[in-house]
A and B are shown apart, each in its own frame.
Chain A
Amino acid sequence: MVLMQNLPEQTQINLTKLACPTFEAKPWVSEKPLSEQRVAMVSSAGLHLRDARRFAGGDGNYREIPGDTPAEDIMMSHVSVNYDRTGFQQDINAIFPLDRMAELATEGFIGSVADTHYSFMGATDPARMEDDARELGRRLKADGVDSAILLPV
């Protein structure tokens, strides 16, 4: 359904007007075969552990979500009310596919799944996330992670 023309008129206007950053450089990391890559998930759904600090508006930090966290303990405190949350309420895999990623590693489609995943909260000026995002990139590198799949909401 989510073709732009199916969204409410005001949402269309807001989304169309939203300022997007542009980048001169086009970084490109060539990786080894997928079946050898260690992959982390990075969500922008404002996810965090049940007891972790919740997301406030404009919060550019990320939260850690260990890969063995039970779905029951993954909460959402995203500021936006303009997207569906009933999918998340029914099935964590609809937005943060912990089970599917584990299956793909078992099957050998990817090499392995990272021990820890991460979530930012979208609807935040990307400039406010830059320092943390770059720090996360270095951290993933240090942890032996090759690649990340970025999951919006």
Chain B
Amino acid sequence: MSALAYYLEDEGIATTLISLLRLHTEKVEPPRALWVPFELGRPLGRPNDPDMQTTVLKAALTLLESKDGPVVLQDFEHAPETDPMEGWQSPVKTARADIDFSDAVAVKSALDVEIATVMPWHDGAAASSGRSVFGVSRMSPEQISQHLTSYLTETPDESPDDEFSSRMALRFGSDDLKVYYLEAAMAEMEKPSSAQLVGWFWRETVAGQLLITLRENALKGDDDKLKVVCGNFMVPGAKVAELDLYRP
């Protein structure tokens, strides 16, 4: 990000940037930067907090008037993150019963049942917010279930579209499945913290366990491209550590 600031400024565009990782910003030294103490993924702070967003934006934009650079690195005052909601439970009731995750047919069946449970919550949430960012895979939830579970067999399905490979469809399908579930889990007015939402997905859903299984299978297999996709882009590093998942 800081390098982009350098390139744009060098072409005559004044830049200011919001920095989430102070260490990197200090190393690259972009012309102007506002460091914020927010969670990665939330450069403007809490969602649905317009006052906070405006405050952060104004602080970053004001740096565009500074004449005494480089380098301007300003700290933003510490702002409260989303606190965990005491006693939160996902409104979506999933049941990760005893499933043999080596049995692709059984896993697909369980996942399809779970998706049917998630669907009304997801669709209700999308209807009330007027927005869903599900769809990056360009597959339906049922098609994602088919594509992902095919990777539990010896013969994974071909790519469902001509833009990317079957392995990339696996990545986008994995991303989309998370979006689908998490949007459903956020259906209620009061929003839990990101950690609670993500914790639910990885600990309590068949979908989460499927992704964990695909990751471990790929890392133990001999398909190097699949190792990259499933090993790096499926399960967050923090969850690998927290849940003590397989490490090669």
Contact = CB atoms under 8 A, between A and B. Distances in A.
Interface of A: 1-4, 7-11, 14-16, 18, 20-23, 25-31, 33-34, 37, 39, 42, 44, 50, 53-54, 56-57, 71-72, 74-77, 79-95, 97, 99-101, 103-104, 109-110, 120, 122, 126, 129-130, 133-134, 136-138, 140-141, 145-153
Contacts of B10: 25, 27, 134, 137
A147 B64 contact: yes
Given A1-B81, A18-B24, 7 more contacts: A22-B28, A81-B175, A84-B42, A84-B198, A90-B186, A94-B42, A104-B54
15 contacts: A2-B37, A7-B40, A28-B31, A29-B9, A31-B64, A84-B194, A86-B198, A87-B46, A90-B48, A92-B131, A94-B46, A99-B50, A133-B8, A150-B8, A152-B19
Interface of B: 1-24, 27-31, 37-48, 50, 53-54, 57-58, 60-62, 64-65, 67, 69-71, 81, 129-133, 135-136, 163-164, 168, 171-172, 175, 178-179, 182-183, 186, 191, 194, 197-198, 228, 232-238, 240-242
Contacts of B242: 8
Contact of A76 (B16, B133, B228): B133
Contact of B17 (A9, A26, A120, A152): A152
Contacts of B197: 86
Contacts of A141: 11-13
Contacts of B171: 79
B59 to A, nearest CB: 11
Contacts of B62: 34
Contact of A10 (B15, B41, B178, B237): B237
B13 A148 contact: yes
B14 A100 contact: no
Nearest to B3: A126
A152 B1 contact: yes
Q: Top 3 nearest A-B pairs by Cβ distance?
A: A137-B11, A84-B41, A126-B3
B23 A4 contact: yes
Nearest to A9: B241
A94 B61 contact: no
Contacts of A103: 54
Contact of B69 (A8, A28, A54, A95): A28
Given A29-B14, A93-B50, A151-B43, A80 B8 contact: no
Contacts of A79: 171, 233
A27 B6 contact: yes
Contacts of A76: 133, 136
Most buried by B among A4, A86, A133: A86
Contact of A56 (B27, B136, B164, B235): B164
A40 B47 CA distance: 21
A24 B235 CA distance: 38
A6 to B, nearest CB: 9
Contacts of A120: 4
A2 to B, nearest CB: 5
A97 B178 contact: no
B194 A87 contact: yes
B11 A138 contact: yes
Contacts of A31: 14, 64-65
A28 B182 CA distance: 42
Contact of A44 (B4, B27, B67, B135): B4
